[in-house]
Amino acid sequence: MKSALWFLPLLLLAGCGAGSGSNDEAVVSSGKTLYVSAEAPEGGDGSRQRPFSSLAELERASAPGDTLVVLPAPLGMAPLEGGIALQHGQRLIGGGPAVVRKRSDAAVAGVSELASLPRIANSNPLRQRGDAVRLAPSSEVRNLVIASASRGGIYGINVPGAVIRGNDVSGYNTRCAVGFTVERFTAPTRLPYFGVPLVLPAGWAGIMVDADEGEGEVSILDNHVHHAACGNGIDLRIKGSADYRADISGNFVTELHKGPLGETQEFHLVHAITTQITGNARLEAMSVNNKQTFIGGPGADCEGLFMNLADNALARWTIDRNVFEHGIGGFSCNGMEAVISHGPAHGEMRINDSSFVDNPGDMLQQDNLGSGSTLILELDRVIVRDTTERPGSPDAQPLPFNLGECILVGSDGADNTTVLRVRDSDFSNCNNGLTILSGVSLLNGGLSDGLIDVEVVDSSFRNNAYSNLVVGVIAPLRELRLRVESSDFRGAGDSALAFKKINLGRIETASVDFGGGALGSRGGNCIAGRARHDATTEGLDVLLRGNWWGRAGGPDGARLSERRGSLDTGAPLGKAPSRCGVP
């Protein structure tokens, strides 16, 4: 993989995107500039004075490297129909003022205030399979309004150098074509070695880029994708031997809903922004200032951000200043999900300075379901709050996920490595705060899981309905490492901390260090449940030295529960540390 410096030329390339001025003047290009207008009479020559009257004429007359300008037309006129397929290096530009404008919160506004817009559509499913715009290598689509499409708004495969910027895309996939499909996976259960195999489809996305060979860079920037009844928002699918870098930034995705699949089924998946990496593919992606809101519908499996890996794939996705609000759906609705479906894939996701608020199911999910796979999640300055599912302890559920947790860390594969790092972050008003579960499915090819390594520093898991932290080991695990320091676990409805080995759970090496242990935690945590316990353990030895228990002198013994394990609460603090404020 290339270093992070690859983003510099990519951002410079994308920097010529839609601004506040006019886009209908000739743009610097290696070819000619041609114009098209929904208001133009037939017989035009493609000039600014006599534009073409159809996209078909524009496409036939153009050559690689040309700039194609769609002139704005009054909203009362039908959009230019039939879609358009671009050639190498072509730029398809919407004329007139910028159709997408930045807001102060880094989302983007719509186009309702503009009386004339550069609008195109494609209602013909036989014409380029219903896509409104087909990309080509080094092509650009900017400042365009996709009013409707039988399938995708903007689509391309193996289009290195493509730039998609400042477009308004809505009303797509009217025929509800299958698009993104989650790679086959085995959903874990609370029964050791037993899982449920699943394949889940979603509708075709408003903006989708595929690659299955070669190297390249793509930019998907500052787009408004919205109001679709059967489709994802922005999908990037990298497979085969492709090695790609992507900048997916500044996009606002909203009002996406589930739709019918054929005549008898429904798509329940609705994803705002998705990356999928399979085969031997590689992806390095960056996302800054995206927003997802009002995604889903009754019963939907909605996702704000979704990363899916399988096979021998490798991906790194860095996410800064993301905002997710208002997931609408059933218990499987998530603000973010990173999942390895099968195989020895390697995935890394880093989320910084972001917030995830108001959602039914687990807000953040880290699901390592491969075999010999590695999944790493790092959270810095992240706020998570307000899930609505409230089933209580995962120990009592047949499917121990999608319970409304703030964060779920799950590994259900053979000899996997699962790593979570949490720093300076806050998680509240969920079912459970942080839930860590380990199990093994026989369908993933092994009898024992590998390593779960979690570190929490300077963070808060407070006022969650059941527990603020849960650790459950369902099947054999080689090593558990949990280090927690200077963090707040007060106000849980049942137990602040809960540790349990379930069924056939067995751990070869376990280090649970909230202070005074081999992992080097200095303690300084605040630990106090509300209704029942401060801490419980069944089958695990937990070091909890040097912490604050809501009172001087250490915990109340009646608020501790130890079965086949121990809670070492020695050297308690005499007053609350600064992280925890006033007790």
Residue at 290 is within a domain = yes
Residue at 45 is within a domain = no
Residue at 20 is within a domain = yes
Give the separation between CA 107 and CA 86, rounded to whole angstroms: 28
Q: Sign of the CA dihedral 10, 84, 228, 230? A: negative
If pLDDT is split at 50, 70 and 90, which confidence band does 552 have?
A: confident
If pLDDT is split at 50, 70 and 90, which confidence band does 5 have?
A: very low
Integer angstrom CA distances of residue 58 from 66, 143, 307: 11, 18, 38
End-to-end CA distance of the chain: 48
Residue at 252 is within a domain = yes
Predicted local confidence at residue 553, as pLDDT: 87
Residue 106 DSSP one-character state: S
- 58, 71 contact by CB (below 8 A): no
- 172, 123 contact by CB (below 8 A): no
CA angle 447/511/474 to nearest 5° reads 35
- 424, 458 contact by CB (below 8 A): yes
Predicted local confidence at residue 498, as pLDDT: 94
Pairwise pLDDT comparison (386 vs 415), residue with the higher score: 386
Predicted local confidence at residue 259, as pLDDT: 67
- Which tokens go with 199? 């394949």
Integer angstrom CA distances of residue 198 from 114, 186, 255, 558: 45, 6, 27, 44
Strand 477-485, strand 507-513: pairing: parallel
Nearest to 255 by CA among 289, 279, 237, 228: 228
Predicted local confidence at residue 19, as pLDDT: 38
- Mean of the per-residue pLDDT values of the chain: 88
Residue at 367 is within a domain = yes
Give the separation between CA 245 and CA 281, rounded to whole angstroms: 11
If pLDDT is split at 50, 70 and 90, which confidence band does 298 have?
A: confident
Per the structure, the count of domains in the chain is: 1
Q: Sign of the CA dihedral 84, 89, 95, 98? A: positive
Rg (CA), the chain: 26
Predicted local confidence at residue 120, as pLDDT: 98
In the chain, pLDDT over 70 holds for what percent of residues?
A: 84
Check whether 24 has a pLDDT greater than 60. no
pLDDT single digits (tens) 168-187:
999 999 999 989 888 775 66
Residue at 49 is within a domain = no
If pLDDT is split at 50, 70 and 90, which confidence band does 221 have?
A: very high
- Which tokens go with 498? 């809960």
In the chain, pLDDT over 90 holds for what percent of residues?
A: 69
Q: Which residues pair with 286 in a beta bridge?
A: 247, 318
The number of beta carbons lying within 10 Å of the beta carbon of residue 45 is 12
pLDDT single digits (tens) 95-110:
999 999 765 455 566 6
Of 264-273, 280-289, 347-356, 429-438, the range with the lowest mean pLDDT is 264-273
The CB-side HSE value for 116 (13 A sphere, CA atoms) comes to 14
Check whether 482 has a pLDDT greater than 80. yes
Predicted local confidence at residue 197, as pLDDT: 53
- Which tokens go with 491? 């106000």
Pairwise pLDDT comparison (553 vs 112), residue with the higher score: 553
Check whether 28 has a pLDDT greater than 50. no
Integer angstrom CA distances of residue 418 from 99, 103, 278, 309, 414: 43, 37, 19, 14, 11
Mean pLDDT (whole number) for 296-325: 95
Residue for token pair 């808060």: 460
The number of beta carbons lying within 10 Å of the beta carbon of residue 458 is 15
pLDDT single digits (tens) 324-358:
999 998 888 999 999 998 999 999 999 999 999 99
Residue at 58 is within a domain = no
Q: Is 513 helix (H, G, I), strand (E, B) or coil?
A: strand
Predicted local confidence at residue 181, as pLDDT: 86
Predicted local confidence at residue 389, as pLDDT: 83
Residue at 297 is within a domain = yes
Check whether 486 has a pLDDT greater than 70. yes
The CB-side HSE value for 503 (13 A sphere, CA atoms) comes to 18
- 331, 361 contact by CB (below 8 A): yes
Give the separation between CA 200 and CA 178, rounded to whole angstroms: 10
Q: Which residue segment(s) compose the domain that 364 sits in? A: 4-25+66-580
Nearest to 366 by CA among 319, 421, 414, 326: 421
Give the separation between CA 129 and CA 132, rounded to whole angstroms: 9
Check whether 189 has a pLDDT greater than 70. no
- 539, 505 contact by CB (below 8 A): yes
- Long-range Cβ pairs for the range 260-264 (8 Å, 24+): 260/176, 260/230, 261/176, 261/178, 261/201, 261/203, 262/176
If pLDDT is split at 50, 70 and 90, which confidence band does 199 have?
A: low
Give the separation between CA 310 and CA 314, rounded to whole angstroms: 9
Predicted local confidence at residue 266, as pLDDT: 54
